[in-house]
Amino acid sequence: MRLIHRTDMLQAVFDRILELLAFTNSPYSVPSILYYSSYSVLSQEGTQQGDPLGPLLFCNTVHPLLSPLVSDLTLGYLDDFTLGGNVATVAQDVRIVDLGSNMGISLNAAKCELVAHSGLVVDDPLLRSFTCVQPCDGTLLGAPLFHGKVLNDFCSERCSDLSRAVDRLCFVGAQDTLILLRASFSAPRVQHLLHCSPSVDACGPQTFDDRLKSTLSRFTNNTLSDSQ
């Protein structure tokens, strides 16, 4: 999706969160000047990078696009929209979302996915332009939806990341290694997967756990039991 028009963004603030209007007007009512070498560029579309209010301002602006949708499943996380239902209803709602081009956003068909069985007949030309994905390969916000190859691949990637990190952590002190493992390379790497995907019977988390256990044993110079 492209950047939203700031006029629409400020109007949305005026319509729904008026108490923030004065604060929002300060950085967005006039273009920001960005400098590169001897050049200056006017930043006048979308929110500014690093603005803590950016996600709120974007969601508040595009919210009217989601309100009239009638699909059985209607989800929006920032600029990631998910619709589910019968083909005709979803096609109608996708066209409503596509009307967001009036405020600066537009669908990027190359990044849109149609999660459906191969036998489903789809006549709508806009939906047909989406990348077709089998349900067993479907993901939502970076999390696999079902057991299968995609879930196994995600688990394998996390195990590979841990192995690669361990090879490099050999060059730093043990105390620093333990801090990095706890804060970055262990549970934080798989929490999203465990929270959002059906990982109970998958073999990947057990492999990751075994690899983490051996890593801790190696850097603490101890033989750790499963309970430890």
Query: The tokens 């696009």 sit on which residue?
Result: 65
Q: Which domain holds residue 214?
A: 144-220
158 and 114 both lie in a single domain: no
* Phi, psi angles (nearest 5°) of residue 76: -140, 125
The predicted structure's pLDDT at residue 223: 87
**228 within a domain of the structure (yes/no):** no
> Which of 139, 167, 182 represents a domain boundary (last residue)?
139
Let me know if residue 1 belongs to a domain: no
d(CA 224, CA 213): 7
- The predicted structure's pLDDT at residue 1: 46
Residues 81 and 128 occupy one common structural domain: yes
Cα–Cα–Cα angle for 52, 144, 73, rounded to 5 degrees: 70
Whether residue 132 sits in one domain with residue 190: no
Whether 77 and 125 map to the same domain: the answer is yes
Angle at CA 210, nearest 5°, toward 208 and 211?
A: 65
Amino acid, res. 123: D
**DSSP state letters, the chain:** --PPBHHHHHHHHHHH-GGGHHHHHHHHSSPEEEEETTEEEEE-BSPPTT-TTHHHHHHHHHHHHHTT---SEEEEETTEEEEES-HHHHHHHHHHHHGGGGGT----GGG-EEE--TT-----HHHHTSEEE-GGG-EETTEE-SSSHHHHHHHHHHHHHHHHHHHHHTTS-HHHHHHHIIIIISHHHHHHHHHHS--TT-SHHHHHHHHHHHHHHHHHTS---S--
Instruction: Please indicate, yes or no, if residue 162 is contained in any of the structural domains.
Output: yes
Is 181 within a domain?
yes
Q: Are residues 212 and 163 in the same domain?
A: yes
User: Do 177 and 155 belong to one domain?
Assistant: yes
Evaluate whether residue 105 is within a structural domain: yes
Question: In terms of domains, do 52 and 39 share one?
Answer: yes
- Is position 150 within any domain? yes
Same domain, 131 and 198: no
Same domain assignment for residues 150 and 216: yes
Tokens of 6: 């700031």
Q: What is the pLDDT of residue 13?
A: 95
Domain membership of residue 89 (yes or no) is yes
Domain total in the chain = 3
Q: Are 126 and 160 members of one domain?
A: no
* Single pTM value for the model: 0.75
Q: Are residues 39 and 72 in the same domain?
A: no
Per-residue pLDDT at 2? 54
Is 226 part of a structural domain of the chain?
Answer: no
At residue 46's C-alpha, the angle toward residues 108 and 74, to 5°, is 50
133 and 85 both lie in a single domain: yes
Q: What is the pLDDT of residue 55?
A: 92
**Which of 43, 58, 73 is the endpoint of a domain?**
58
Per-residue model confidence as pLDDT tens for the chain (228 residues): 457 899 999 999 999 999 999 999 998 999 888 898 899 988 888 888 888 999 999 999 999 888 999 999 999 998 899 999 999 999 999 999 988 888 888 888 888 999 998 888 899 999 999 999 998 899 988 889 888 888 888 889 988 998 898 889 888 888 898 898 888 888 888 888 888 888 887 788 888 888 888 888 888 888 888 887
